[in-house]
Structure 1
Amino acid sequence: MTANAPTTTALGQLITFVGGDGSGKSTLATRLHQALNDAGLKAILVGKHSTDVPRDPELSSYLDRLNELVYRRDARIAQECGDYYWLLALASWYTLQDRLVIRPALAAGTHVVLDNAHHKILARYAVNPEVSTRLAAQVFAHLTQPDLVFFMNVGAREALARKGSFTSLETGHSGGSDEDFIRYQDTVLNQMRGQAVRGGWLSLDAADMDREQVFRAACAALADQLHLTV
């Protein structure tokens, strides 16, 4: 090999988090992202409202407008649009975030910590009799496959104690009581548990662990499965 031979940048790795509302996904994602950077590794945190496309303000602006349509809209309008519309709107959002933010970062050797993975959406549609589960799976099938998925296995009652409040969406629009939240969230959680088994996700029984224990377990998994020491 000559001294001037080109070097190949190692690909970054995609780390995602799945769990019910209030399970601690964002807390763990934020902490692991910081830990990766503190360890001298290049990493970005991508979340529900991440719209920055490096060095391209026009694409960033476009992605932000799409994010506003999908996530920053009036709840009444959201319900009027219907389930099929939101499935396709969400697929559009995830497609562009994957294409414009996640894939370029991975290609540049930057690790991506994805707080806002699509798997929970698949679980919600799996318990929705109005929409084909097969269709829901198809519209997300092209997204980049994660290298490691952390599944925050926390029951709905524990999650509600952590959250303290919830939206109509988080009850599946089934009602406004705590029991409506718990019933719907546990139904969705059972779908995610099935996904976890089929997908080989790393399950963290976070309800039985404090935040430090969850973090240490996640760090051990990064070292063991992805060879990332933090």
Structure 2
Amino acid sequence: MTIATKLTGPARGRETTVTGIDGAGKSTLAARLRQALVGAGHPAILVGKHTTDVPMNPELSAYLARLNEVVYRRDARVAQACGDHYWLLALAAWYSLHDELVIRPALASGTHVILDNAHHKILARYAANPEVSTHLAKQVFAYLTDPDLVIFLRIGAREALRRKGEFTSLETGHSGSSEENFIRYQDTVLAKLRQQEQNDGWLALDVTGMDRDAVLKTAADAIADRLQLTL
């Protein structure tokens, strides 16, 4: 008797990204979602803007760490001198390499990815910048893996500032150092994000007045419903 066997690899992992303005609670939610997935028995990793570990490859990990230092640990004066177009392309290099070396291999191995600080906020910031072509900004990120679910934490800038308590010059769009500068800029970025929320795979959550547990439950329910992953 002949028995036909079909060799298959692990089921592809699913990618969930969390986006929103600064202070929306992205990092908190992303970390808790990863914990919930692991607690439910799913292989999952959390990927953020300082993730530089490439499994079993110390040389590539070291390279990612060096690029991360250039992109995210820069001197503010140097950053402004380099100009907006340079930083758009530098960020695109970081996100593309992150996608190639960390995210795609994880998904291919059957590991779920929770992505904090996804490129959607970067697109919104550049859409609010008249000096840089919105088309160009979209094109340089077009290579990235499409997430299975984007959770958009929607909150006004004034409430986000109340939660954050402090902010950087980047978070005001380098428009000034006052709280009103932060609020004006972040509300502009929020409006640009809301233009993206009509995209397929987006789930917009109004988190104003919601505590962390309520946000987690709503997001976990969405993952269970849309991605068929029990949490």
Q: Hey, what does 1:8 align to over in structure 2?
A: 9
Q: Hey, what does 1:217 align to over in structure 2?
A: 218
Unaligned runs of 5+ in 2: none
Q: Structure 2: how far apart are the matches of 1:200 and 1:44?
A: 20
User: Would you say 1:60 and 2:61 are equivalent positions?
Assistant: yes
Deviation, structure 1 residue 4: 5.3
Report matched runs for 1:140-155 at 5 Å: 140-155=141-156
Deviation, structure 1 residue 78: 0.6
**8 Å CA contact 2:148, 2:201 repeated in 1:** no
SS at match of 2:46: strand
Deviation, structure 1 residue 212: 1.1
Q: Structure 1: how far apart are the matches of 2:230 and 2:183?
A: 37
Deviation, structure 1 residue 198: 3.1
CA deviation digits over 1:95-139, x for unaligned, max 9?
Answer: 000000000000000000000200000000001010000000000
Q: Hey, what does 1:104 align to over in structure 2?
A: 105
Unaligned runs of 5+ in 1: none
Q: Which is worse superposed, 200-209 or 157-166? A: 200-209
SS at match of 2:199: helix
User: Following superposition, which runs of at least 4 residues in structure 1 exceed 6 angstroms of deviation?
Assistant: none
Flag the 1:192–1:186 CA change in 2: closer, same or farther, 3 A: same
Give the number of equivalent residue pairs. Answer: 230
CA deviation digits over 1:141-164, x for unaligned, max 9?
Answer: 010000000000011000000000
User: Would you say 1:92 and 2:93 are equivalent positions?
Assistant: yes
The one-letter code matched in structure 2 to 1:11 is R
CA deviation digits over 1:11-66, x for unaligned, max 9?
Answer: 00010011000000000000010010011100000001001000000000001100
TM-score scaled to structure 1, two decimals? Answer: 0.97
SS at match of 1:198: coil
The one-letter code matched in structure 2 to 1:144 is T
Q: Hey, what does 1:195 align to over in structure 2?
A: 196
**8 Å CA contact 2:154, 2:204 repeated in 1:** yes
Deviation, structure 1 residue 216: 0.8
Residue identity (%): 68
Report matched runs for 1:33-48 at 5 Å: 33-48=34-49
**8 Å CA contact 2:172, 2:181 repeated in 1:** yes
Q: Structure 1: how far apart are the matches of 2:199 and 2:216?
A: 24
Q: Hey, what does 1:229 align to over in structure 2?
A: 230
Q: Structure 1: how far apart are the matches of 2:188 and 2:4?
A: 59
